[in-house]
Amino acid sequence: MATGIGSVDIYSLELHSLYPPYQQTVYVGASDQFMYAFNASNGTLIWRYVTGSTPSTATVANGIVYFSSDEVYALNATNGSVVWRYLTGGGNNSTPVVLNNVVYVGSTDGYMYALNASNGTLIWRYQTGGSTSTPTIVNGVVYFHSSDGYMYALNANDGTLIWQQSVGNPVSPPVVSNGVVYFIYVYFLGALNANDGSLLWEKQISYYPSDLFYPVVTNSTIYVNSRTGTLMALNADNGAILWTYTSSQSTSSLMPVVVNGMIYDGFGGNVVNLNTSDGTLAWSYSTGNNAAVPTVTNSIVYVGSDNGSIYSLNASDGSLIWHYLIGSSYYFGSPTVAP
């Protein structure tokens, strides 16, 4: 399954809806170590760029594609040429977050980095005791966790520490909503006060070690996939389970995507569309192998698969629009769609 998934960018989802597919490009990394760019309307390959390891999910801003691999890369979105590369002290599977011409990205060397988005020069870095996750930036604060067992909150301007809180070893990047930092660790869903890091509550939502994936928060509801093919919808105030959807598949993608009152998710080889109100199934499409986290824009679902294909599906009924195969021995990660 693909790694390096960050928080869902709702602003980008809304922005993309202003542009029809023929004006958009799908950027997606694959296990053959290439970053690919496809025409969103017909799946035609525009360019590809080879790196030194599997690329993370991409972030696109101001005509530049940012992603992590063996280095942090910034490529021209139109033709895939290198704008800059930055070598950290370790590998990178963190999805870069770009805000106010700054790229924030974690690394296995234990640092959180802030780089100039135009030229890749270092602005600041903050050292922890372990690998750092994909960050979340809200109101000038950079939230992330480290494998040293702490959640961190840093000043986005200069990287100074605001607070750190012991949280065990979270498996998910933090999600920040309405002043609360949500995260998953072991069997639990946890919630911290975003201002000072104090624990608000924690709730056990699984009985299997390392069973839970990344939380998604929207409209006061938290959605969490389990490795065993179940999606849970929980109350964001206390973690109480509202409903569950259990797939016939034994695996799931890292997280669901919620758009316009519908949930798009991957369970084993199936891409599914569920109602947010009760988790009932609207449609399902089989890719034949594990599906990654989908992206939805302009009523089209783009999703990578472990069968080496990326798919474009009609969001209303799951019918196939196009697909592109790089080879059955590879897998595609989660796509990013941008004008």
pLDDT above 80: residue 10: no
What percent of the chain stands above pLDDT 70? 93
Q: Which residues pair with 142 in a beta bridge?
A: 137, 154
Closest CA to 259 of 10, 40, 41: 10
Closest CA to 242 of 211, 216, 279: 279
The CA-based dihedral angle spanning residues 152, 259, 59, 141, taken in that order and rounded to the nearest 10 degrees: -30
pLDDT in tens, 216-232: 999 899 999 988 889 99
For the chain, what is the mean pLDDT?
Answer: 91
For the segment 98-127, the average pLDDT, to the nearest whole number, is: 97
SS3 for the chain is CCCCCCCCCHHHHHHHCCCCHHHCEEEEEECCCEEEEEECCCCCEEEEEECCCCCCCCEEECCEEEEECCCEEEEECCCCCEEEEECCCCCCCCCCEEECCEEEEECCCCEEEEEECCCCCEEEEEECCCCECCCEEECCEEEEEECCCEEEEEECCCCCEEEEEECCCCCCCCEEECCEEEEEECCEEEEEECCCCCEEEEEECCCCCCCEEEEEEECCEEEEEECCCEEEEEECCCCCEEEEEECCCCCCCCCCEEECCEEEEEECCEEEEEECCCCCEEEEEECCCCECCCEEECCEEEEEECCCEEEEEECCCCCEEEEEECCCCCCECCCEEEC
pLDDT in tens, 222-262: 999 988 889 999 999 999 999 999 998 778 888 999 999 99
Who wins on pLDDT, 14 or 307?
307
Confidence of residue 289 (pLDDT cuts 50, 70, 90): confident
Confidence of residue 20 (pLDDT cuts 50, 70, 90): low
pLDDT above 60: residue 143: yes
pLDDT in tens, 151-177: 999 999 999 999 999 998 877 889 999
Confidence of residue 138 (pLDDT cuts 50, 70, 90): very high
For the segment 62-72, the average pLDDT, to the nearest whole number, is: 96
Closest CA to 166 of 154, 151, 146: 151
Which pLDDT belongs to residue 154? Answer: 98
Q: Rounded to an integer, what distance in angstroms lies between the CA atom of residue 58 and that of residue 96?
A: 7
pTM score, two decimals? 0.92
For the segment 274-292, the average pLDDT, to the nearest whole number, is: 93
For the segment 310-329, the average pLDDT, to the nearest whole number, is: 95
Which pLDDT belongs to residue 19? Answer: 55
Which pLDDT belongs to residue 228? Answer: 85
For the segment 270-298, the average pLDDT, to the nearest whole number, is: 93
pLDDT above 60: residue 32: yes
Q: Rounded to an integer, what distance in angstroms lies between the CA atom of residue 108 and that of residue 68?
A: 11
CA distances to 183, 308, 319 from 55, rounded to whole Å, are: 24, 15, 28
For the segment 265-280, the average pLDDT, to the nearest whole number, is: 94
pLDDT above 80: residue 276: yes
How many residues are given for the chain?
339
For the segment 40-66, the average pLDDT, to the nearest whole number, is: 96
Which pLDDT belongs to residue 16? Answer: 43
Q: Which amino acid would we find at residue 19?
A: Y
Which pLDDT belongs to residue 12? Answer: 40
What value, to the nearest 5°, has the Cα angle with vertex 62 and ends 117 and 136? 60
For the segment 75-91, the average pLDDT, to the nearest whole number, is: 94
Tell me the torsion sign for CA atoms 61, 92, 149, 173.
positive
Which pLDDT belongs to residue 1? Answer: 36
Which pLDDT belongs to residue 6? Answer: 41
For the segment 71-86, the average pLDDT, to the nearest whole number, is: 97
Contact residues for 46 (Cβ-Cβ < 8 A; gap 6+): 25, 37, 38, 39, 80
